[in-house]
Amino acid sequence: MKEKIILIGGGGHCKSVIDVIEQEGRFEIAGIIEKYVGESEAVLGYPLIGTDDELEKLRQEYTYAFVTIGHLASNKVRVKLFEKLKALEFNIPVIISPLAYVSKHAKVASGTVVMHHALLNAAVDVGENCIINSKALLEHDVVVGDNSHISTGAILNGGVSVEPNSFVGSGTVAKQGSNISGFIKMRSVVK
C-alpha cells in the first residue's frame, strides 16, 4: 500500500508535481491544501482537503507532505510553508521523476523536486526545498543552495555554485565554476 501525501498549494506548479508523483508511483495523493477555502477547486482530479491553517490538525492524519507552490518573483511563501511542515514534523520527501537522471553520486535534500528529463551528474549537491525543473542540466560538482529554483532548460556547467534562495531563469547557461546569487532572468549567460 502506498503512503498518502498532501500537497501544499494548488496552482500550476502543483499540476507539474502531481504528474511527477504519479509517474514515480511511490505515493498516493490524498489531496491539496490551499491558503483559503474556496481559493481553488480540485487539481487534476485531486480534491481540496484543507487550508494552511489546518496543517497541525492534518498532521494527525497524514505523515507526508510536499510544498507545491512555485518560485518565480519570490520564494517567501514557499519557504514559510516548508519551515512550517518541518516544525510540524511532516516527512517531506525528495520527489524525482523516473524520466530524470540523477547520478548515484549526487545528493538531493528533502522537499526538492526533480522534474522530467532533468539531469544531475556526479557530485551534484542540491539543498532542501528546491525545484530542479524540466530539462535542467546540472553538470558535475554543481552545488545548489536551499530554496532555489533552477528553471526549465537551464545549463549549469561543472562546479557552478548557486546561493540559497536563488532563481535561475529558463534557458540560462552558467560557465563552469561561476557563482549565482539572487534572480537570474531567462536566457542569461553567467560567466
Residues 113-159: tens digit of each pLDDT: 999 999 999 999 999 999 999 999 999 999 999 999 999 999 999 99
As a whole number, mean pLDDT of residues 69-73 equals: 86
* Amino acid identity for residue 159 in this structure: G
Query: Model-level pTM greater than 0.85?
Result: yes
Q: With 80 as the cut, is the pLDDT of residue 72 above it?
A: no
- Fold (CATH) for 3-87: Rossmann fold (3.40.50)
Q: Where are the domains of the chain?
A: 3-87, 95-190
pLDDT tens digits for 158-169? 999 999 999 999
Instruction: Name the one residue in this structure whose C-alpha cell is 499540476.
Output: 15
Which residues are registered as beta bridge partners of 108?
A: 126
d(CA 177, CA 142): 8
> Residue 14, exposed/middle/buried by CB under 10 A (0-12, 13-18, 19+)?
buried
- pLDDT for res 105: 98
13-17, 34-38, 64-68, 132-136: least confidently modelled range: 34-38
Residue range 95-190, CATH number:
2.160.10.10
- pLDDT for res 90: 98
pLDDT tens digits for 130-139? 999 999 999 9
Q: With 90 as the cut, is the pLDDT of residue 185 above it?
A: yes
Distances (CA, A) of 45 to 18, 19, 41, 116: 10, 12, 9, 21
- pLDDT for res 183: 96
Q: Are 154 and 136 in contact (CB under 8 A)?
A: yes
Cell of 155: 545549463
Q: With 80 as the cut, is the pLDDT of residue 39 above it?
A: no
As a whole number, mean pLDDT of residues 164-186 equals: 97
Q: With 70 as the cut, is the pLDDT of residue 38 above it?
A: no
Residue 73: how many other CB atoms lie within 10 Å: 8
- pLDDT for res 36: 72
